[in-house]
Amino acid sequence: MNDLLSELYASGWIGTLMAGLDRNTIADIANDPATVDFISDLLPLLDEAQLAAIVNNNGAWIGDFTSEITPGTINGILAQLYSNGWIGTLMAGLDRNTIADIANDPATVDFISDLLPLLDEAQLAAIVNNNAAWIGDFTSQITPGTINGILAQLYSTGWIGTLMAGLDRNTIASIANDPATFAFLNDLLPLLDAQALADMVNVNGTWVGDLVSGLEVGTVNDLLSELYASGWIGTLMAGLDRNTIASIANDPATVDFISDLLPLLDEAQLAAIVNNNGAWIGDFTS
């Protein structure tokens, strides 16, 4: 048989045959329902392992063959598959559970875990850097409800708690103390809406009150001691503008406030302050 084929090829008969075969006739034979039925009945009878071996034993050839397929051809195939609806039919028909099983399989996880360290971080970052506008548009389409759902899920699963417990305090402190962070905040603050920030306090006065009332006396004492020991109190008092302080004190609104406040104060308590500090007042007066 090999000798026969060699002779037919060498004599040019094969070339003449292939060139002369009527393409339409061959296509009609291939498209004929009888041919389709024949192949449909034949395939289940073939040995899958033997067919797979044809590919497995010719990996290099298949690689060379594939490498000759141009991007334009791939684009054409994809465009055709999309335009004729095959892609849509495929995506709609894919079994989600099967895809999830593949993604969740330990072998898949191991593969990705081994793959990621081999990828070029700079190239991956470039994908983001070169498509910042698209990423911005994409992010802007994510609704607050979605974000709330994500955060609620992360909290309910314990991920937030695990994250907060596991964050390296020294690293976070280093980030906060970094001069670049200070420079960023110094540049950012003047750009923020002061009234909007003030409204956060104004609208949440009750909560702020509860927060302050929750501070222990010892905490306040420690805070004042630290501010004094660090020299902050001295620097503050030395740097306060006397004219501004005097203007505040002399302002009619301040006078009205004090005038309204004094009748509301407990005279006995105020007197006790004097009575309990008689020695100091005597020394002060002297």
pLDDT tens digit sequence for 86-133: 999 999 999 999 999 999 999 999 999 999 999 999 999 999 999 999
- Report yes or no on 165 lying in a domain: yes
- Report yes or no on 172 lying in a domain: yes
Structure confidence at residue 95 (pLDDT): 97
The rounded distance, in Å, linking the Cα atoms of 135 and 189 is: 26
Say which amino acid occupies 256: D
Structure tokens at 45: 């009878």
- Report yes or no on 92 lying in a domain: no
- Report yes or no on 52 lying in a domain: no
Structure confidence at residue 100 (pLDDT): 96
- Report yes or no on 182 lying in a domain: yes
Whether 227 and 233 have beta carbons less than 8 Å apart is answered as: yes
Is the confidence at residue 8, as pLDDT, over 90?
A: no
Phi then psi dihedrals of residue 124, to 5 deg: -65, -40
* Number of domains composing the chain: 1
pLDDT tens-digit series, residues 209-235: 999 999 999 999 999 999 999 999 999
Structure tokens at 57: 């034993």
- Report yes or no on 19 lying in a domain: no
Element (H, E) at 121: helix 121-129
Residue 35: which residues within 8 A CB-CB, separation 6 or more?
Answer: 29
First and final C-alpha spacing in the chain: 132
Residue 1 pLDDT level (bands cut at 50, 70, 90): confident
pLDDT tens-digit series, residues 34-87: 999 999 999 999 999 999 999 999 999 999 999 999 999 999 999 999 999 999
Q: What percent of the chain has pLDDT over 70?
A: 100
Computed over every residue of the chain, the mean pLDDT equals 95
Tell whether pTM > 0.95: no
Q: Residue 66: name the closest of 78, 79, 55, 82 by CA.
A: 55
- Report yes or no on 148 lying in a domain: yes
The whole domain housing 160 covers 140-191
Structure tokens at 148: 């709330």
- Report yes or no on 156 lying in a domain: yes
The rounded distance, in Å, linking the Cα atoms of 77 and 84 is: 11
